[in-house]
Amino acid sequence: MTNRRSARFRRYLTSILAIFIVLVLGSAYFLSWPYVIYGPGSAEPVHPRVETAHKLDEKGSFLFTTVSSYSQPNAISLFYAWVNPREDIQTEKAATGGATDYASYRNLLSWMRDSSEANALLAAYGAMKRSIEVKEQGVIVISFLPETKAIASGLHEGDILTKVDGKATLTAEQMASTLSAHKPGDKVRLTGTRGGKPIDVTIPLIQMPGNSKRTGIGFQQSTVLKVTPPDPVKFDFNDVGGPSAGLMMTLEIIAQLTGEDLTRGYRIAGTGTIDEHGTVGQIGGIQYKLMAADKEKADYFLVPYDKEGGLSNWNDAQKTVKDLKLKPKLVPVATLTEALDFVRKLQTK
């Protein structure tokens, strides 16, 4: 009798343990967590993604580099990233800079990409000393100040505002001028778009921090520009977020429109934002972009060299190449002019 009970208990125990293991593994696979995993992305040629009416047979390639990001991973992916020295984990809040939600962060990244394309055109045409048409289209919400009351009223990062109380405000300057006629506590109606869809919110204004005594919304903003070049130029970066391909886009635009193969037969990777004046700005995740460039056998890697910003990209790039024994040769660039000078001095392969 005792043996029979013991056998039955063992049989039940085995079944219970099997069910428990299935539940644990299922939870580990199907449940998502509020984190973002970062790792090496891709290093792809810019040439197929920038189309102009000027055909250019490049002997080498300009490579734009990306960071791989995986949001809301499961426990299995988190564990793999934790033990993998080439991946990192951040909370969603840290990864998005504290954005209202992940959708708002994605909208902001989309604008950054579009703005990068516009600035690449402005910088390229400036370097070629050619004119280009520019129109203001609204004001983008980049981030909020701690004092703002706009978040509670429904405004999000990435929203593009075009009117205040029915009056067109297509530039940051126009918006500041309109809001200056109000007092803190006054409510204004803001209209615009969020991810391409109309929005309409009413928010209370605040006295802006500091000694300016200005009335405002309490956010960091920028003017949204539509840039129309005299030449047909099309971009295909819709699967890419953020502004970090700006420098490499600009080099490719100049190469195609001038007919000069600036690659000189080399695989030249790089990263960095670009502004309308050709200043190269720092970006995030340069270590992952270097890993991607190394995998694609890049000869050189253009690194943002921003003295005012503290040279963090340059220092991180040097450390990554040394620690991982990567092969691309690092080239510091602070401006588009410096990048052009470098590639033009390369001896053609």
The per-residue pLDDT for 242 is 86
Q: Of 96-100, 201-205, 223-227, 247-251, which range is least confident?
A: 96-100
Q: Which helix (H) or strand (E) holds 214?
A: none
Of the residues 77, 104, 116, 244, only one is catalytic, namely 244
Of the residues 143, 289, 297, 349, only one is catalytic, namely 289
Q: In the chain, pLDDT over 90 holds for what percent of residues? A: 72
How would residue 29 be classed by pLDDT, with cut points 50, 70 and 90? low
Residue 71 or residue 345, greater confidence: 345
The per-residue pLDDT for 95 is 80
pLDDT at 210 > cutoff 90 = no
The per-residue pLDDT for 99 is 84
Told to judge if 129 belongs to the known catalytic residues of this protein, a careful annotator would answer no
Q: What is the pLDDT of residues 163-185, one digit of tens each?
A: 999 999 999 999 999 998 999 99
Please check whether residue 283 is in contact with residue 273, taking contact to mean a CB–CB distance below 8 angstroms.
yes
Angle of helix 102-127 relative to helix 246-258, nearest 10 degrees, comes to 40
Domains along the chain?
41-92+231-345 (3.30.230), 133-226 (2.30.42.10)
pLDDT at 27 > cutoff 90 = no
49: tokens are 């993604």
Mean predicted confidence (pLDDT) in 205-229:
90
pLDDT at 2 > cutoff 60 = no
Mean predicted confidence (pLDDT) in 328-334:
98
Reference 140, options 152, 127, 157; nearest CA is 157
Told to judge if 71 belongs to the known catalytic residues of this protein, a careful annotator would answer no
* 32 Cβ neighbours under 8 A, 6+ residues apart: 72, 73, 74
Helix (H, G, I), strand (E, B) or coil at 251: helix
Tell me the H-state helices in 245-305.
Answer: 246-258, 286-295
* 296 Cβ neighbours under 8 A, 6+ residues apart: 42, 43, 63, 267, 269
The per-residue pLDDT for 170 is 94
Considering the chain, what is the average pLDDT of its residues?
91
Q: What is the pLDDT of residues 118-160, one digit of tens each?
A: 999 999 999 999 999 999 999 999 999 999 999 999 999 999 9
The per-residue pLDDT for 150 is 94
The per-residue pLDDT for 268 is 98
